[in-house]
């Protein structure tokens, strides 16, 4: 029903000046939360990335900003969604496998953004991931798990969906929404809480994409990212932001002690470190951040480090840490350890609701 955009005619066909090949990066949002996250990424202006929205719900899909939209399972669901049933989401993706495969043709790096616990994101995301890997793309899943108030059944479905997705991606970053709930002000509205969750997905994707697509003080390319994230399994993500005279140290410390991580990053075999700042970001700032992250990790950890300049950031410094390759017992789920830390160790952030404008939310510093 909805299928806009053609992979073969994509502006991301990457032969620049006849010589340099730039990686083809696609972000595919699956289900309601995934499509919302993709729309936030588009609003944020992430560059040199192609966005794809995938859903069983025709009404929500029609309002997405994604240039390529794929209505999956049209015959199965008649456009009415999956009814929070993951098996329907899976069957819908399998019905539309040819369309998904066409949209992902030629991809080097595919991010799959989804919420876990519902029907489409939980059931369809593993199918999309399998297709992407079969086509040779580095495949990264970045998902949220349900808030506690969403109920035990949704949590159980999320656990099963994460297990299925992890088996079909190179790297899986699972972000527990309950961690976000602990750092949000008690007066935050439900709408704002879900928008913050969407924005965390955006931050994770942007942190990686900026390293590849944005010229910077310290440049990385797709091969560097692939070194850390190919077949890496479980990953943890931390985000930190600071401004002022001690911004480098504060941002780095917030990233490695982020409530999204919940425990030390020791044990990771690889770390992807992304630093972004305004025009006055200095090499000394970048080196100080790298040292703090290296000190928090094992000596043998392979740290891949890039720093980019974004004039819109002013005196802010942003640090994104993605730690990969943790040793987990067979069958364990990503981020399980990070959900057991005590709330007393988590800094307080206030997120007051903004009356009359659901989009104008004041999010925690480490998520802005």
Nearest to 115 by CA among 161, 71, 181: 161
pLDDT (tens digit per residue) in 132-183 = 999 999 999 999 988 888 889 999 999 999 999 999 999 999 888 887 777 7
Q: Which pLDDT band, with edges at 50, 70 and 90, does 321 fall under? A: very high
Q: What pLDDT does residue 352 have? A: 31
Nearest to 234 by CA among 165, 314, 284: 165
* Same-domain check for residues 163 and 255: no
Q: Which of 106-110, 164-168, 234-238, 242-246 has the lowest mean pLDDT?
A: 234-238
How many structural domains compose the chain? 2
Percent of the chain at pLDDT > 90 equals 48
- Residue 223 included in any domain: no
Q: If you average pLDDT over each of 242-251, 254-263, 296-305, which comes out highest? A: 242-251
- Residue 153 included in any domain: yes
Of the residues 148, 169, 190, which one is the last residue of a structural domain?
A: 169
Q: Which of 40-54, 71-85, 298-312, 348-362 has the lowest mean pLDDT?
A: 348-362
Q: State yes or no: pLDDT of 311 exceeds 70.
A: yes
- Residue 332 included in any domain: yes
Q: State yes or no: pLDDT of 357 exceeds 60.
A: no
Quick one: 249 exposed, middle or buried, by C-beta within 10 A (0-12, 13-18, 19+)? middle
Residue 337 has, within 13 A of its CA and on its CB side, a CA count of 15
What integer best gives the mean pLDDT of the chain? Answer: 81
* Same-domain check for residues 122 and 30: yes
Q: Match 């998902």 to its residue by tokens.
A: 143
Percent of the chain at pLDDT > 70 equals 82
Q: Stretch 328-353: mean pLDDT, rounded?
A: 32
- Residue 57 included in any domain: yes
State the DSSP code for 80: B
- Residue 204 included in any domain: no
Pairing verdict, β 171-176 and 233-242: parallel
- Tokens encoding 261: 């991580």
Q: If you average pLDDT over each of 102-106, 195-199, 305-309, 352-356, which comes out highest? A: 102-106
Q: Stretch 176-203: mean pLDDT, rounded?
A: 81
- Residue 182 included in any domain: no
- Residue 74 included in any domain: yes
Residue 147 structural domain = 7-169
Q: What pLDDT does residue 262 have? A: 57
Q: Which pLDDT band, with edges at 50, 70 and 90, does 264 fall under? A: low
User: In Å, what is the CA distance from 205 to each residue of 87, 107, 121?
Assistant: 27, 16, 17
* Same-domain check for residues 140 and 24: yes
- Residue 2 included in any domain: no
């Amino acid at each position: 029903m909805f299928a806009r955009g053609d992979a073969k005619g994509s502006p991301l066909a990457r032969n620049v000046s006849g010589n340099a090949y730039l990686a083809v990066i696609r972000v595919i949002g699956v289900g309601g939360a995934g499509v919302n996250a993709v729309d936030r990424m588009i609003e944020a202006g992430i560059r040199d990335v192609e966005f794809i929205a995938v859903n069983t719900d025709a009404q929500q899909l029609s309002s997405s900003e994604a240039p390529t939209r794929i209505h999956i399972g049209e015959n199965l669901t008649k456009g009415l969604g999956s009814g929070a049933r993951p098996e329907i989401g899976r069957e819908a993706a399998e019905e539309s496998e040819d369309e998904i495969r066409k949209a992902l043709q030629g991809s080097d790096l595919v991010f799959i953004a989804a919420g876990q616990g519902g029907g489409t994101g939980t059931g369809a995301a593993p199918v999309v991931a399998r297709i992407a890997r079969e086509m040779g793309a580095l495949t990264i899943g970045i998902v949220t798990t349900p808030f506690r108030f969403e109920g035990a059944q949704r949590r159980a479905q999320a656990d099963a969906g994460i297990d299925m997705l992890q088996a079909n991606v190179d790297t899986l970053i699972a972000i527990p929404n309950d961690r976000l709930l602990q750092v949000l002000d008690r007066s935050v509205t439900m709408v704002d809480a879900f928008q913050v969750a969407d924005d965390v997905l955006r931050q994770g994707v942007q942190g990686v994409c900026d390293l590849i697509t944005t010229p910077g003080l310290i440049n990385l390319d797709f091969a560097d990212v692939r070194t850390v994230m190919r077949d890496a399994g479980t990953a943890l993500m931390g985000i930190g932001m600071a401004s002022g005279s001690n911004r480098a140290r504060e941002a780095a410390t917030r990233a490695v002690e982020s409530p999204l991580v919940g425990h030390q990053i020791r044990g990771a075999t690889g770390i992807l470190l992304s630093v972004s700042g305004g025009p006055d970001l200095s090499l000394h700032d970048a080196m100080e951040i790298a040292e703090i992250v290296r000190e928090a990790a094992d000596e043998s950890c392979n740290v891949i480090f890039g720093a980019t300049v974004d004039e819109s950031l002013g005196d802010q410094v942003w640090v994104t840490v993605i730690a990969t390759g943790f040793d987990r017992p067979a069958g364990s789920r990503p981020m399980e350890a990070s959900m057991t830390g005590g709330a007393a160790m988590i800094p307080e952030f206030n997120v007051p609701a903004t009356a009359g404008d659901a989009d104008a939310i004041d999010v925690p510093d480490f998520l802005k």
